[in-house]
Amino acid sequence: MCGIVGYVGHRDCSDVLVKALTGLEYRGYDSAGIAVFENQKISVAKSKGKLKDLVDKMKVEGRPKGFAGIGHTRWATHGEPSDINSHPHSGAKVTLVHNGIIENYKELKEFLQKQGRVFLSDTDTEVAAQLLDYYYSHIKEPVKAIIETTQELKGSYALGIVFEDFPNRVFAVRRESPLIVGVGKSENFIASDVPAIIEYTKDYYLLEQDEIAILDENGVRVFDNHYQPVVKELKTADWDVDAVGKCGYPHYMIKEINEQPTAIKNTVTPRVKDGMPCLDECNINPEVLRKIKNIYIVACGSAMHSGMVGKYVIEEIARTAVTVDIASEFRYRNPIIGKGDLIIIVSQSGETADSLAAMRLAKEKGAKTLAIVNAMGSTIAREADMLIYTHAGPEISVASTKAYMVQLSVMYLFAFELAFAKGQIDEEKYKYYTAKLLETPEMVEKVIAQTTEISQKISMKLLTADSLLYIGRGLDYALSMEGSLKLKEISYIHSESYAAGELKHGTISLITKDMPVIAVATQSALYEKTVSNIKEVKARGAKVIMICQDGNDVPKDIADYVLKIPTFEEILLPMLVCVPLQLIAYYTSVQKGNDVDQPRNLAKSVTVE
Ligand code: M6R
C-alpha cells in the first residue's frame, strides 16, 4: 500500500526522501513522487513506475533542491498508475501525500467544483488537497485548516502536508492509516513505518488517531483535534539498519527464510518458564483460558493460514472447537459471537484493514480479543484486549515467511497452555511438547540446509506448468494452503490446495498428463490414506512431488520426486515442512525472473479494504 515520508533538517531533502521511500518499497507501489521547498516555493517531481523511474526522470528534468519536503509511493486505488495520478497533489498553497482512502471524495469533489476548483487527477487524494487548500484560504492557519478538513473527510488517511506559506515545516495527521514521527538531531521525519527512517534515527513517536504533528528542524509538536498540545512517549526501535538490509542475500525473501530459526527463538524462548509456556505478560493465564467458550481465528492470507494450522493443533490437543475465518468475510456476515468467546486476530503488520475491522466488531459484540502481531505499536496491537507479539523483526518481502513461521510458533504456545489449563494434557506432556517446540529453531536450520538443493531442482520442473495442486490431509492440508499461496503470489503459476480425500469429488478431473501435484504426507495416522490419494493422481498422469518424513517407506513409482524431512514430533512438523514449500516457491520465482520481493499487484501492508 502507499508509503509516506517527510523530512525537515540539514541534509539534501530529495536524497533523504528517495532513500526513505526505498525503505518502504516493500509495501508495494506503482508510482512515486516528492515535493520539496526550493527557494520558498514547493517544487514537485513525480512519476509512474518505480523509484528508479522517478530518479531517472529527475536526472533529466532536474531534482528539487532544499531541506524540507514530503514523499510518497502510490499503490493505485482511484485512477490508474500514471504521472498525473501520482502523489503529491496540490491546491494553490497546499501540497500533500496520502495513504488510505477518502470514502466521500465524490461529494466533496462536487462541492469543491461548485466553488470553481478544477481537478487534474482521478484520485481521492487531490480532493483532500483541494479541500484543505479551500479551508486554508479562508482560515489562514494551517492546524485549524487541517482540523476543519479532517472533520469533513470520511475514510482512512495518513497525510503528509506542506504549506507554501510555511517553508521548511512539515505537517502530518492520521486516521486509521499508520504514521510515525521520527526524531533526530536537528532533523525530523514522518513515515508510514520505521524502515523508512532507521538509517537516520531509531527514535520515533507513534501518531494516534486524529493527532496533528508539526515538524521543523528544531523539534516536533503534536496536537489533538481540539488544537491542544499532546505529550508523546518517545519509542525506540529495537533493531538496526541490518534488519532492513539484504545483508548479502539476493532477495529479502531468502534472507527472511534463513532468519527463521532466530525468529522462532526470539518468539518462543522468552515465553517459556520452568519448561512450560508462560503467557502472563500477555494477560493470558489458566484462569482466563478456562473461561473461553468458543475460539475464532480471524485473519487474512498467510496469517489466516497459520490459524488453519492452529485450529488443527488446538482441536487435537486442547479439545476446544476453533473456527477459522477470513477477516473480510467475518466482518460482513454478522458473526454469532459474544461474551465468553475468544477472537484471535493474527497479523504481521497489525494494520490490515479487514483484520482490524473484524477485531473491532468482535469487541463491539462483547467477545475478548487476542492479537498475535509482529509490528510493535501497530493499531491491532494497541486495540486488542490481549496481545502476543511475535518477534520476527521487520519482514520486508511481500511474501510472508518468517512472520508466518512465528505465528505458527505462537499457535503452539497457546495450544499447549490451553490444553494444560483445560486438563487435556498432564504436566509431563505439557513439558514434553514445550521442549520439542524449543528444539524447532535447530530443526528448521537443519531443514533449510537439507532441502535447499532439492527444492531448487523441483522448482525447475514447475516452470512450464500452468497450474498445480497441493494436496494433504489434516495438518498437512492446513499447511498446503500456505504452500500454494506462496507459490502463486510470487511465481504467478495458478495453484490450489486441496484436502486429498476430497479430490475425487470433482477436482481430480483437472489432472492431466504431467500436471504437478505437491503431496504432503507427514502425519503417520493419515499416511496410508494420503498415499492412496497420491496413487489416484499418479494413475491419471500427474507429476508427483511427495514430501514426507525421513523414515517413511515410499511405495515404488508413486512419486517423481521425494523430498524427505527429518523425523520429528508430528504435531510440530508444519514448522519444518513449510521451509521446503517456501523454498520451492522462492526458486520458481527466481528462475522465472520475477520480482520476488515485490510481486505484481501486491502490497505488503493492506491498509484498505
Ligand atoms: O499483515 P498481515 O499479516 O495482516 O497481512 C495479511 C496478508 O495480507 C499477508 O499474509 C499476505 O497474504 C502475504 N502476502 C502472504 O505472503
Signed CA dihedral, 91, 92, 94, 96: sign only? positive
Residue 283, pLDDT > 90, answer: no
Domain boundary, last residue among 425, 448, 463: 425
Q: Is the CB of 259 under 6 A from ligand 1?
A: no
**Alpha carbon of 602 to ligand 1 centroid (Å):** 10
CB of 303 sitting under 6 A from ligand 1: yes
Please report the atom of ligand 1 found closest to the CA of residue 399.
16
Q: Which helix (H) or strand (E) holds 216?
A: strand 212-216
For a pocket test of ligand 1, which of 302, 373, 497 has the largest count of ligand atoms closer than 8 A to its C-beta? 302
CA distances to 34, 168, 178, 482 from 47, rounded to whole Å, are: 9, 24, 24, 35
Best mutation site among 27, 300, 388 for ligand 1 pocket (most ligand atoms within 8 Å of CB): 300
Q: Is the CB of 606 under 6 A from ligand 1?
A: yes
Question: In this model, does residue 198 exceed pLDDT 80?
Answer: yes
Nearest to 322 by CA among 300, 298, 288: 298
Q: 354: Cβ below 6 Å to ligand 1?
A: no
Decide whether any atom of ligand 1 lies within 6 Å of the 398 Cβ. Answer: yes
How much is the pLDDT for 468?
96
Cell of 202: 531509531
Q: Is residue 514 part of a domain?
A: no
For the chain, what is the mean pLDDT? 95
- Tell me whether residue 501 is in a domain: no
In a domain, 466, yes or no: no
List the beta bridge partners of residue 519: 471, 546
CA-based torsion, 442, 487, 559, 538: positive or negative: positive
> How many angstroms is it from 301 CA to the middle of ligand 1?
5
Q: How many CB atoms lie under 10 A from the CB of residue 452?
A: 18
Asked whether residue 192 falls in the same domain as residue 272, the answer is: no
Q: How many CA atoms lie within 13 A of 7 on its CB side?
A: 28
Are both 201 and 174 inside the same structural domain?
Answer: yes
pLDDT band at 377 (very low <50, low <70, confident <90, very high): confident
Contact (CB, 8 A) for 111 and 155: no
How many other CB atoms are there within 10 angstroms of residue 92's CB atom? 12
Q: How many residues does the chain have?
A: 609
Residue 301: CB within 6 Å of ligand 1? Answer: yes
Same domain, 172 and 203: yes
- Give the number of domains in the chain: 2
Q: Please check whether residue 319 lies inside any domain of the structure.
A: yes
Q: What is the pTM of this model?
A: 0.85
| Region 226-251 average pLDDT | 89
Per-residue pLDDT band for 396 (boundaries 50, 70, 90) equals very high
Asked if 257 and 211 sit in the same domain, the reply is no
Same domain, 272 and 361: yes
In a domain, 488, yes or no: no
Residue 130 lies in a domain: yes
Evaluate: CB of 178 within 6 angstroms of ligand 1: no
Q: Specify if 471 maps to a domain.
A: no
97 & 189 share domain: yes
Whether 255 and 272 map to the same domain: the answer is yes
In a domain, 600, yes or no: no
Task: State the Cα–Cα distance between residues 542 and 470, nearest whole angstrom.
Answer: 12
Cis check: omega of the bond before 394, within 30 degrees of 0: no
> Do 189 and 265 fall within a single domain?
no
Q: Which atom of ligand 1 is nearest to the CA of 301?
A: 12
> 548 has which bridge partners?
521, 564
Beta bridge partner(s), residue 206: 180
Same domain, 272 and 199: no
Instruction: Give the C-alpha distances (Å, rounded to integers) separating 146 from 90, 94, 386.
Output: 14, 11, 34
Sign of the Cα torsion 271, 198, 51, 217 reads: positive
> Residue range 391-413: average pLDDT?
96
Q: Which amino acid is at 543?
A: K
- Selecting among 48, 368, 564, 604, the annotated active-site residue is 604
**Does 601 score more than 90 pLDDT?**
no
Ligand 1 mutation target, pool 305, 352, 595, most atoms within 8 A of CB: 352
Q: What is the CATH number of the domain that holds 225?
A: 3.60.20.10
Q: Are strands 188-191 and 212-216 parallel, antiparallel or unpaired?
A: unpaired
The pLDDT value given to residue 1? 74
Question: Which of ligand 1's atoms lies nearest the C-alpha of 602?
Answer: 14
Backbone φ and ψ for 179, nearest 5 degrees, come out as: -160, 135
Distance 326 CA to ligand 1 centre (A): 12
Confidence of residue 77 (pLDDT cuts 50, 70, 90): confident
pLDDT, residue 80, reads 85
**What's the pLDDT at 564?**
96
What is the average per-residue pLDDT within 108-126? Answer: 94
Would the CB of 359 count as within 6 Å of ligand 1?
A: no
Q: If you take atom 9 of ligand 1, which residue's CA is the nearest one? A: 301
Would you say the CB of residue 352 lies under 6 angstroms from ligand 1?
Answer: yes
Q: Measured at the alpha carbon of residue 47, what is the angle toward residues 43 and 48, in degrees to the nearest 5?
A: 160
- Whether residue 2 lies in the annotated active site: yes
Amino acid (one-letter) located at 359: M
Domain end: 384, 410, 425, which one?
425
Per the CB < 8 A criterion, the answer to whether 36 and 226 are in contact is: no
Average pLDDT of 587-596?
97
Q: Can you tell me the distance from the alpha carbon of 460 to that of 451, in angstroms, rounded to the nearest whole number?
A: 14
239 pLDDT higher than 80? no
Instruction: Identify the band that residue 26 occupies on the pLDDT scale cut at 50, 70 and 90.
Output: confident
| C-beta of 401 in contact with ligand 1 (< 6 A) | no
**pLDDT for res 244:** 78
Tell whether 229 and 344 lie within a shared domain.
no
Reduced 3-state DSSP string for 311-339: HHHHHHHHCCCEEEEEHHHHCCCCCCCCC
Atom of ligand 1 nearest to the CA of 407: 3
Range of the domain at 381: 249-425
**Would you say 99 and 117 are in contact if contact means Cβ atoms under 8 Å apart?**
no
Q: Domain boundary residue among 189, 209, 244?
A: 244
Report whether 545 contacts 519 (CB < 8 A): yes
Q: Are residues 388 and 293 part of one domain?
A: yes
DSSP summary character for residue 25: G
Looking at the structure, tell me whether residues 167 and 284 fall in a common domain. no
Catalytic residue chosen out of the listed positions 2, 13, 282, 548: 2
pLDDT at 224: 96
